[in-house]
Amino acid sequence: MSLVLHQFRYDQKAFWRNPASVFFTVGFPVILLLIFATVFGSQTVEVRGGIKTTTYYVPAIITLSVISATMQSLAMSLVIAREDGRLKRGRGTPMPPWVFIAGRIGNSIVVALLMLALIAAIGDLAYGVGFPWGRLPDILLSLLVGTAAFCCLGIALTAAIPSQDAAAPIVNALLLPLYFLSGVFIPDDQLPSGVIHFADAFPIRHFFESFFDAYVPGGAGVSWDNLAVVAIWGAVGAFLAIRYFRWTPRSG
Amino acid sequence: MSEPVISIRGLRKSYGDAEAVRGIDLEVERGEVFAFLGPNGAGKTTTVEILEGYRKRSAGEVRVLGEDPEHGDRRWRERIGIVLQSCRLDPYLTVRESLGLYAGYYQAPRPIDETIELVGLGDKADARARSLSGGQQRRLDVGMALIGDPELLFLDEPTTGFDPSARRQAWETIAGLRELGKTVFLTTHYMDEAQRLADRVTIIAKGEIVARGTPEDLGDRESRPARISYREDGREVALETTTPVKTLNELTGRALAEGRELEGLEVARPSLEDVYLELTGQ
């Protein structure tokens, strides 16, 4: 356990010093929130009996931030470490290999929690979207399941990424369309029902729904069926990760 | 005589139909710098990765520090250090942090500052890895492999792709390991590197060992024919002889008697490079 903390401390250092990881996981979601709030701020979204656009986008952007801090960030950083030969090198030391992965997962959890706090604070202070303190347990439960599931999916995804250069295109090609189709970028009431049915096949939509229900006023709190779908996706990810994750570089 | 640090008997490794290592035997004694020399694709990296526990062998006996590397546990890993052929460092960690990270993996690591001095990075201790030159990164690599204070160090082609000054720096670091009493298993495809650093050299070509010995007597260089060359009436004459003193005496005697010079007269032993190229069939 102390070894995991040791690994985590260094992973944190490397994370915060890497301008690309800080921009895409921290800066980018904030910018998106500011853009959406500025462009659509005065409108109303016809869900849950009509809510402010900003009330819609705060949990939406937190959803995106969590996926970005977990699935996206893990897949990219593990592929880079693998192709650099750093995973292979670590296996040549007495450190049990899972410690390396655990350190990275720890990093993802901390960044995801931080993004929850940051986006919620901006939502509250800038747009008057109050944080539902009474539903904190629901929010944390939803976050916990989502974080775990998307970490597993990120680790599994590395098996499909052959090189460092391919990491960003593959991750973005998967996630960006799903953000649009799942209602993260475009509010639900503007999406055709066929699109939502399609998005229902993937975990992003379900994670968004469960988090949204826990966050917005008039939401249902914990949305067990959505969380269950996210957890199943996570379990599939964990299985694929254990089966196909590799420690040695694919190229060279 | 203590037990060898590495012993290999009849080691074989196949990838599908291709046999990369075809039955090799070798032993490495405690405290020596052992060079495993051969051209690219000869089976060097395959062999060293079997010794490091990264690959499974197809056949043969392998003992590294008394254990089978395929079943090397944490305690065994405490005793070895590995420098991979190509490994980039975490670009955002400094020299001191990179060593600190690795020091945490071991029960009894070497002091970090001392290790930084040992690999000659004293003035770069707080520089991030990305700002180091290729030679400096390699020395940090060696430092990270040494941080656990291993008995045995593997260096897989440590200077491939380096410019001459970076090679010299890396060589100085490796030569310094001998003074620490480490056993070093070095693979290289540079003859001069093996010659400069190793106590003993074994040459591998196409998966088989073709020569072994000290850098001086490798491939029976002393007993190979000498080559005598000179010019006569404007044409090059070259002859090979196992008795150069006698042949030279006859040649020069005749030239003296006829009152002429042997222009461009040279007597040469085959260089290590010649022996190496011949043995490896290049």
Report chain A's mean pLDDT, rounded to a whole number.
93
Integer Cα distance of A222 and A216 in angstroms: 12
Determine whether the interchain pair A92/B53 forms a contact, defined as Cβ–Cβ distance below 8 Å. yes
Mean pLDDT of B141-168: 90
A130-134 long-range contacts (CB < 8 A, ≥24 apart) are: A132/A214, A132/A215, A132/A216, A132/A217
Any chain B CB within 8 A of the CB of A92? yes
Question: B172 pLDDT exceeds 80?
Answer: yes
Mean pLDDT of A219-227: 87
- Cβ atoms < 10 Å from Cβ of A250: 15
Determine whether the interchain pair A10/B100 forms a contact, defined as Cβ–Cβ distance below 8 Å. yes
Contacts of B144 in chain A (CB under 8 A): 89
Q: What pLDDT is stored for residue A41 in this prediction?
A: 80
Any chain A CB within 8 A of the CB of B80? yes
Share of chain A above pLDDT 70, in %: 100
- Cβ atoms < 10 Å from Cβ of A107: 25
Q: What pLDDT is stored for residue B87 in this prediction?
A: 85
Residue B143 structure tokens: 């430092």
Is beta strand B33-37 parallel, antiparallel or unpaired with respect to B183-188?
parallel
Question: A245 pLDDT exceeds 70?
Answer: yes
Mean pLDDT of A215-241: 92
Beta-carbon-side half-sphere exposure of residue B46 (alpha carbons within 13 Å): 26
Q: Whole-angstrom distance between the N-terminal and C-terminal Cα of chain A? A: 34
Mean pLDDT of B4-25: 94
Determine whether the interchain pair A10/B82 forms a contact, defined as Cβ–Cβ distance below 8 Å. no
Q: What pLDDT is stored for residue B219 in this prediction?
A: 67
A64 close to A184: Cβ distance less than 8 angstroms: yes
Determine whether the interchain pair B77/A94 forms a contact, defined as Cβ–Cβ distance below 8 Å. yes
Q: How many CB pairs under 8 A join A and B?
A: 65
A201 close to A188: Cβ distance less than 8 angstroms: no
Share of chain A above pLDDT 90, in %: 85
Q: What pLDDT is stored for residue A46 in this prediction?
A: 83
Question: B148 pLDDT exceeds 90?
Answer: yes
Question: Which of B18, B76, B21, B88 is closest to B48 using CA atoms?
Answer: B21
Q: What pLDDT is stored for residue A57 in this prediction?
A: 95
Q: What pLDDT is stored for residue A252 in this prediction?
A: 57
* pLDDT, tens digit, 9 for 90 and up, residues A61-89: 999 999 999 999 999 999 999 999 999 99
* pLDDT, tens digit, 9 for 90 and up, residues A105-123: 999 999 999 999 999 999 9
Q: Roughly what angle, to the nearest 10 degrees, separates helices A53-67 and A136-157?
A: 40
Mean pLDDT of A164-189: 94
Any chain B CB within 8 A of the CB of A44? no
Integer Cα distance of A100 and A249 in angstroms: 16
Runs of H (alpha helix) within A23-72:
28-40, 53-67
Any chain B CB within 8 A of the CB of A91? yes
Integer Cα distance of B81 and B87 in angstroms: 14
Q: What pLDDT is stored for residue A248 in this prediction?
A: 93
* pLDDT, tens digit, 9 for 90 and up, residues B78-105: 999 999 988 899 999 999 999 999 999 9
Please give the single-letter amino acid code of residue B65.
L
Name residues whose C-beta falls within 8 Å of residue A133's C-beta, 6 or more positions apart in sequence.
none
Any chain B CB within 8 A of the CB of A251? no
Q: What pLDDT is stored for residue B224 in this prediction?
A: 78
* A14, A94, A95 member nearest B90 (Cβ): A14
Q: Roughly what angle, to the nearest 10 degrees, separates helices A97-127 and A73-84?
A: 150
* pLDDT, tens digit, 9 for 90 and up, residues B207-251: 999 988 888 777 676 777 888 888 888 888 888 888 888 988 998
Residue B241 structure tokens: 């002889």
Q: Collapsing DSSP states into helix, strand and coil, what is residue B176? A: helix
Any chain A CB within 8 A of the CB of B54? yes
Q: How confident is the model at residue B164 (pLDDT cuts 50, 70, 90)?
A: confident
Q: How confident is the model at residue B161 (pLDDT cuts 50, 70, 90)?
A: confident
Question: B1 pLDDT exceeds 70?
Answer: no
* Residue A221 DSSP code: S
Beta-carbon-side half-sphere exposure of residue A24 (alpha carbons within 13 Å): 18
According to the CATH classification, is domain B6-215 in 3.40.50.300?
yes
Domain ranges in chain B are 6-215, 222-279
Q: What pLDDT is stored for residue A66 in this prediction?
A: 97
* Residue B126 DSSP code: T
Determine whether the interchain pair A93/B97 forms a contact, defined as Cβ–Cβ distance below 8 Å. no
| Burial call A179-196: b when 16+ CB within 10 Å, e when fewer | bebbbbbbbbeebeeebe
pTM for this model (two decimals)? 0.88
Please give the single-letter amino acid code of residue A198.
F
Q: How confident is the model at residue A1 (pLDDT cuts 50, 70, 90)?
A: confident
Q: What pLDDT is stored for residue B159 in this prediction?
A: 87
> CA dihedral in degrees (B70, B73, B74, B78; nearest 10)?
-60
Q: What pLDDT is stored for residue B179 in this prediction?
A: 85
Q: What pLDDT is stored for residue B86 in this prediction?
A: 85
